[in-house]
Amino acid sequence: MVKKKILYFVEAFGGGVFTYLANLSNALCDDFDVYIAYGIRKQTPQNFKDYFDKKIHLIQVKNYQREISFSKDLAALKEMKKIAKKVQPDVIHLNSSKAGILGRWLFRNSKTPVFYTPHGYSFLMTNMSKKKKLFYKSLEKIFAFKNVETIACSKGEYEITKELTSNATYVDNGINLKEFDGINMDHQTNFDHLKIATLGRISLQKNPVMFNRIAESFPNVDFIWIGDGELRDKLTTPNIKVTGWVDNKTALNYLADTDIFILTSLWEGLPMALLEAMYMKKICVVSNVVGNREVIRNENNGYVCDDLTDFIERIKKITQANEIPLRLIENANREIVTHYNSNIMAKKYKKIYCQEMKAKYKR
């Protein structure tokens, strides 16, 4: 039997989006013929091909770039059109803002089922003016064509999506539990020598300035930023260690050897690093933003903080208690096992894809 073809387009081929796409495509490639048209970013792993099943077809879109450029974006559109014509997919799935804008315009009249996953809307960024936010939000509304269904990656992102289009659903992100094979998750906490970590790109989104200020408040605690990025110079406190870009296995090993995971993000989709920390039974302390608060319920499976003072007070309470909140970390771990994992995520996507293909043939 000939497999149906899924064609993924993704410009932001790094960080959480990369992990999401690797997990999803690897889980689906036995049932579908999977193609991924990708762009290269600084945070794209050098050995990125090793993350994907050999059955998956990887095609580079050479003109993808994060910044807006009429000439480059036009060239990327032509590449996308050429790839789609050659692959002849049964499903097209666009991922992140740039591929989402270009792809929705290109396939706005396509008879092939088209899906779009934002992975965190641009207009949620806190570093831009109200005018710019309105512009990005207007773009999302304008490009919400009737034939394109948005699949949000969390319930919070879905609630925002409903303000933009009625043609929407959501599937929570999930992590691949097999990736933890060989990772030593029996770390023993020493309250006299705590280790606090975060994982991701050192970018405005992840709020390194706040991370730095938290570290300043706890000079006797080791802080680790697993990753690298353009705002590395904001991490000036002596007790912060920056690992630089490392492969996923190395990143998980770093995370395994810590006690508390913090996420100071200004905005999120549904952060994969948070799910990984929850599975590894780390105490999770996160900012009160969309994506984080859909996963972490305060004092049930982690802690949600409104501002810098909240973060500092919460970490103080953890250190002063001198014990691990076992109920909390067990609750967090259980939710990953029963809900936020890639097998469950892939089954939900498969159902959505198959339903839409079936509906297409009835038209």
Report the CATH number at residue 202. Answer: 3.40.50.2000
Give the pLDDT of residue 134: 87
143 and 27, same structural domain? yes
Q: What is the DSSP letter of 188?
A: P
193 and 119, same structural domain? no
Give the pLDDT of residue 124: 75
Q: Are 285 and 264 in contact, with CB atoms under 8 Å apart?
A: no
331 and 187, same structural domain? yes
- 125 pLDDT more than 80: no
* pLDDT bucket at 2, cuts 50 / 70 / 90: confident
Give the pLDDT of residue 69: 80
Alpha-helical (H) ranges within the chain are 15-28, 70-87, 97-106, 130-142, 155-161, 208-217, 248-256, 272-279, 292-295, 308-321, 326-338, 342-362
220 and 304, same structural domain? yes
163 and 273, same structural domain? no
Cα–Cα distance list, 210 to 20, 108, 196, 230 (Å): 26, 41, 14, 16
Q: If you average pLDDT over every residue of the chain, what do you get?
A: 93
Give the pLDDT of residue 360: 73
Which helix (H) or strand (E) covers residue 69, if one does? none
- Domain count across the chain: 2
| Residue bearing the bigger pLDDT, 67 or 263 | 263
- Domain housing 157: 5-174+341-362
195 and 151, same structural domain? no
Separation of alpha carbons 143 and 182, rounded Å: 44
Separation of alpha carbons 248 and 246, rounded Å: 7
152 and 25, same structural domain? yes
Q: What is the mean pLDDT of residues 17-42?
A: 94
In the chain, what percentage of residues exceed pLDDT 70? 98
Give the pLDDT of residue 97: 86
- How many CB atoms lie under 10 A from the CB of residue 156? 20
pLDDT per position as a tens digit, 170-200: 999 999 999 999 999 989 888 889 999 999 9
205 and 332, same structural domain? yes
pLDDT per position as a tens digit, 49-94: 999 999 999 999 999 987 878 899 999 999 999 999 999 999 999 9
Q: What is the mean pLDDT of residues 23-33?
A: 96
| Residue bearing the bigger pLDDT, 122 or 97 | 97
In the chain, what percentage of residues exceed pLDDT 90? 76
pLDDT per position as a tens digit, 281-334: 999 999 999 889 989 999 999 999 999 999 999 999 999 988 899 999 999 999
Cα–Cα distance list, 50 to 56, 128, 192 (Å): 11, 37, 39
247 and 139, same structural domain? no
pLDDT per position as a tens digit, 226-247: 999 999 999 999 999 999 999 8
345 and 332, same structural domain? no
305 and 345, same structural domain? no
- 362 pLDDT more than 70: no
168 and 24, same structural domain? yes
- 363 pLDDT more than 60: no
